[in-house]
Amino acid sequence: MTTALAAAVLSPAAAPAPTRLWTPSRVLVTRSAAERPHGQRVLARLEAAGVDAIELLPGDRLPNLRGDGDRAAFMAAKQTLAVVVPPPSKRRLQPIPPSADWRFDLAEGCPAHCQYCYLAGSLSGPPITRVFADLDEVLGDLEAYVGLGAVTSGTAARGDEGTTFEASCYTDPLALEHLTGGLATAVEYFGTHAWPGPVQLRATTKFDDVAGLLGLPHGGRTRLRFSVNADQVARRFEGATSPVAGRIAALAAVAAAGYPVGLTIAPIMPVEGWQEQYGRLLDDVAAALPAGTDLTVECITHRFTPGSKETLTDWYPRTKLDMDEATRTTKRGKFGSVKHVYSKETMAELRGWFTSALAEQLPTARVLYWT
């Protein structure tokens, strides 16, 4: 750690005020979740936040939330938070390339309304947000995975990150943090536990409520990444998230508190004037970050699948998001899955531009991958 960063850890920057704090209109808590320590902590936070529509269920089954499939049912589901204990099968961790060796989930679902949301193709059922109450047990299991994994562990490019655990595959942890405190619990656990080898917790977010994270004993073992985009993409397609300026202020605050940080530039879209817009974004990040910040960058271009397109056009029927298969290249996965990505020429143009812009505007940043 540099001297500048070490000093900053001792006196973290003031937290920028959060720009958006979600209040669910309905909360469902299963019996098993209410019995778990994390479930009880979430209940206490919900009460402290003034959320009063809390239903303690007599068993572990959630009521049928599928509704009649209309817009009102969709919005009601998006406004619902469930606190549950997931099935035991979820406790077996899966690799999550290209981000991390392993993924573990603090929650599934997200209250925001990104019209390209990648969850649309991966989660089924009504889009409620499920917070997992077995967090303490899940954290206790992670030690067994240290030294295993093939995405970062043992690789020449990223082996120095240690065994990596991604906590934001199926949710946006900061969207829920004021109601759950789950990310803070995980950060503190990673920072203070006596691990048998180097580890890194990873999370990415489109929110900016970092106040509860700044003073934690993170031990440099959590890399907080902020998902950012061109102005036009964020304003048009990222409903109910924090504005990009707020995310950049939050990024700067956690960097000043000594966290390794990252940019997840996603999904990259060649909208009109994209070079200027992404150029301004990188300038804003460069201007905000304290000297000596440990910064990584992950670049993900926009893609969609037949399933995600169907779900997203159902959720956001008037979307202006470009999901025209005719202008895309189709990629097929091992098991016949189909993904529509930009053409080879567009990909090359985007990649070439980002490679030089990042080298010029954020010269100390390490680019982890392009996809």
Rg (CA), the chain: 20
Minimum CB separation of residue 301 from ligand SF4 in Å reads 15
Query: DSSP for 201-246?
Result: EEEEES----GGGTTS--TT-EEEEEEE--HHHHHHHEETS--HHH
Minimum CB separation of residue 109 from ligand SF4 in Å reads 8
Q: Of 230-249, which residues contact ligand SF4 (CB under 6 A)? A: 241
Q: 158, 142, 157, 139: which is closest to 197 by C-alpha?
A: 142
> For residues 241 and 311, which CB has a smaller minimum distance to ligand SF4 in the complex?
241
Tally of CB atoms within 10 A around 294: 18
> Rounded to whole angstroms, how far apart are CA atoms 109 and 127?
6
- Per-residue binder mask for ligand SF4 (CB under 6 A), 118-147, x = binder: xx----------------------------
Minimum CB separation of residue 241 from ligand SF4 in Å reads 5
Q: Is 177 in the site for ligand SF4 (CB under 6 A)?
A: no
Q: Is 117 in the site for ligand SF4 (CB under 6 A)?
A: yes
Burial bucket for residue 300 (CB in 10 Å: 0-12, 13-18, 19+): middle
Minimum CB separation of residue 114 from ligand SF4 in Å reads 3
Q: Of 6-25, which residues contact ligand SF4 (CB under 6 A)? A: none
Sheet with 107-108, edge to edge strand ranges = 54-56, 26-29, 80-84, 129-132, 107-108
**Residue 211: alpha-carbon gap to chain centroid:** 17
What are the two backbone dihedrals, phi and then psi, of residue 80, each rounded to the nearest 5 degrees? -105, 135
Q: Is 112 in the site for ligand SF4 (CB under 6 A)?
A: yes
Q: Of 194-223, which residues contact ligand SF4 (CB under 6 A)? A: 206
> Rounded to whole angstroms, how far apart are CA atoms 338 and 93?
25
Site size for ligand SF4 (CB under 6 A): 9
Give the torsion sign (CA, 45, 47, 52, 55): positive
> For residues 116 and 190, which CB has a smaller minimum distance to ligand SF4 in the complex?
116
- Per-residue binder mask for ligand SF4 (CB under 6 A), 19-58, x = binder: ----------------------------------------
Q: Of the ranges 111-119, 181-189, 255-263, 351-359, which one interacts with ligand SF4 (CB under 6 A)?
A: 111-119
b (16+ CB within 10 A) / e for 93-109: beebeebbbbbbbbbbb
Binder of ligand SF4 out of 28, 33, 96, 114 (CB under 6 A): 114
Minimum CB separation of residue 112 from ligand SF4 in Å reads 4
Q: What does the binding site for ligand SF4 look like in residue numbers (CB under 6 A)?
A: 110, 112, 114, 117-119, 172, 206, 241
